[in-house]
Chain A
Amino acid sequence: MNRRVVITGVGVVCALGHNSLEFWQALAEGRPGIRPIESIEPGLLRFENGAEVRNWDPSRHFDEKEAGMLDRFAQFGAVAAREAVADAGLEWSRELREETAIVTGSCVGGQGTEDEGFLNLYRKNIPRVNPLTIPRTMENAAASRISLELGVLGPTFTLSTACSSSNHAIGHAFWMVRSGAARLAIAGGSEAVFSLGFLKAWEAMRVVAPDTCRPFSKDRRGLILGEGGAMLVLEPLDFARARGARIYGEVMGFGMGSDAFHITQPSADGAARAMRAALSDGGLKPEDIGYINAHGTATQANDATETAAIRNLFGSHADRLQMSSTKSMHGHTLGAAGALEAVATVLALRHGILPPTANYTEPDAACDLDVIPNQARRAQVEYALSNSFAFGGLNAVLAFRSA
């Protein structure tokens, strides 16, 4: 028997703040966290702006030895999970620890650690690489750290599907709680992208904007990379009610699929199929959806293709939908994107405020949907989707309901 699954805790670290309250305030004010990149020496990149986590001091969250064991991406994930678990007000028992799942997403894991270690080897001719490179770099480092901190003993794993990683992670955690395979889940993702080698590779892809992230705007020039982490606590509705937990919202459905089309070009058909699968999984009709947190990377290709997919799936209802890309504020955090956007979507439903698409200047006929330009909007929406479409053609969509 399927259980209804609700969200009872959220945690966020990103360019908009070090907790979910700061995150939400910035989203509701339409205030982007995109600024000149500080962690890389100027002049080495063709682009200069990013959505970095500012003033991150690991010693505020970890003792020195612990911090040394953790790459920045794992720190973001662990701190977001701490906030989510504290927010949920969980009381741990041996049974709950055994029946709790942790599912995280990350695209590139501790690539900053790897970059540094290999730089010493290749460039500085230091013939030894730090043994902590291995546990710091592994993509499951955040999941393992959360498990160690909380003593969680249940199914714990990490999914890596580029920009869809976190949506796949949350979706699978949702299915496990819904089916009873887990009694509780901590799900989300984290990413730290600001190392020179990785940024140079993005530069070579020619999809990073030289100015800022302007999703769905005619003058959009590409994505802005961001870093951070977000986690959600998922549990069955009856369990949450029985313990008097605050309920942020409900996870209704999860849909996924592959384009089988091109390794980097998006497909409207693949995107539409994933959205349709999420609706179907949640027993929803297209007309039920009032808000979409778009994938909205602000590349020419994504935004036009996503619009086409939505028009194709929703038909005339597409003109009644409200949609925004919060990447315009927290940047594209790759494997953490779905988690940040899931929290953004759930908080939007809870507060009755839809965050805007920031930095929007000019309508584009190829993106002719209501994208909530620049100003947040008061609206009570019952059902929403959050889209993630990854390089590699792997799509994952979550459906949420307001509490």
Chain B
Amino acid sequence: MSNEELTERVRRIIATTQHLSEDKVTADSTFAELNIDSLDGINILFAVESEFNINIPDEAAQTIRSVRDVVEGIAKLLAEGPVRA
């Protein structure tokens, strides 16, 4: 999956879970700019885990603060291969 495609999918997930229009969520948006708080953040990670079938560790989750952090995190986890059960 290209980085552009991944970014598009992440933007769509964030827009859907946060009930925002997709053009508000850019590749450069931070969670603070989008008014995404800690509970919104874990809800987004839940949607991301489901869409990509990955497990995001709690430690990694705590450092995610922007759309770019989400995209980079997913790319790294996808590169590690499919998750166990």
Please report A residues at the B interface, Cβ cutoff 8 Å: 43-44, 46, 204-206, 210, 221-222, 262-265, 301
Contact = CB atoms under 8 A, between A and B. Distances in A.
B58 A263 contact: no
B37 A265 contact: yes
Interface of B: 37-39, 42, 45-46, 55, 57-58, 61-62, 85
A43 B42 contact: no
A264 B38 contact: yes
A204 B50 CA distance: 12
A46 B57 CA distance: 8
A210 B38 contact: no
Dominant secondary structure at the A interface = loop
A206 B61 contact: yes
Interface SS of chain B? helix
A265 B58 contact: no
Closest 10 CB pairs of A and B: A264-B39, A206-B58, A206-B42, A204-B46, A206-B61, A265-B38, A205-B42, A263-B39, A204-B42, A43-B85
Contacts of A221: 58
Contacts of A43: 85
Contacts of A205: 42
A46 B55 CA distance: 9
Contacts of B55: 46
Nearest to B39: A264
Contacts of A44: 85
B69 to A, nearest CB: 15
Given A205-B42, A221-B58, A265-B37, 14 more contacts: A43-B85, A44-B85, A46-B55, A46-B58, A204-B46, A206-B42, A206-B45, A206-B58, A206-B61, A206-B62, A210-B58, A222-B58, A263-B39, A264-B39
A253 B66 CA distance: 46
A301 B62 CA distance: 12
Contacts of B46: 204
Nearest to B85: A43
Contacts of B37: 262, 265
Contacts of B61: 206
25 contacts: A43-B85, A44-B85, A46-B55, A46-B57, A46-B58, A204-B42, A204-B46, A205-B42, A206-B42, A206-B45, A206-B58, A206-B61, A206-B62, A210-B58, A221-B58, A222-B58, A262-B37, A262-B39, A263-B39, A264-B38, A264-B39, A265-B37, A265-B38, A265-B39, A301-B38
Nearest to A301: B38
Contacts of A206: 42, 45, 58, 61-62
Contacts of A222: 58
Contacts of A204: 42, 46
Interface centre among A205, A210, A221 (most CB of B within 10 A): A205
A222 B42 CA distance: 15
Contacts of B58: 46, 206, 210, 221-222
Nearest to B38: A265
A209 to B, nearest CB: 9
